[in-house]
Amino acid sequence: MRQFTQAKKRVDVSPGESVRIIRELQGFTQTRLSELCGIPQTTISGIETGRVNLGVERAKMLAVALHCHPAVLVFPGWQIGTAA
């Protein structure tokens, strides 16, 4: 059977902060990201500030627009640990 290594948290970043960081690194405004993914700008603002839950479906839509894997948004700061 295949052995799996446990993931370890590297940094303390919320999903909303992850969305904001990746959006800003790509040079998008909230309005432009809204146009690219179809999520209202007010919802994106809410996600980034933690007032609105990101959720898997929104993460998928944002990931397509931001050219990243949804896990980067949903589980920011995690990496696979080394085998013991």
Domains of the chain plus CATH, in order, are: 7-80 (1.10.260.40)
Tell me the CB-side half-sphere exposure of residue 69, using CA atoms within 13 A.
Answer: 4
Say if CB 11 and CB 39 are below 8 A apart: no
pLDDT tens digits for range 42-58: 999 999 999 999 999 99
Sign (positive or negative) of CA dihedral 37, 39, 41, 44: negative
- Whether 84 has a pLDDT exceeding 50, the answer reads no
Tell me which residue of 50, 79, 40 sits closest to 19, measured CA to CA: 50
Q: What is the pLDDT of residue 75?
A: 85
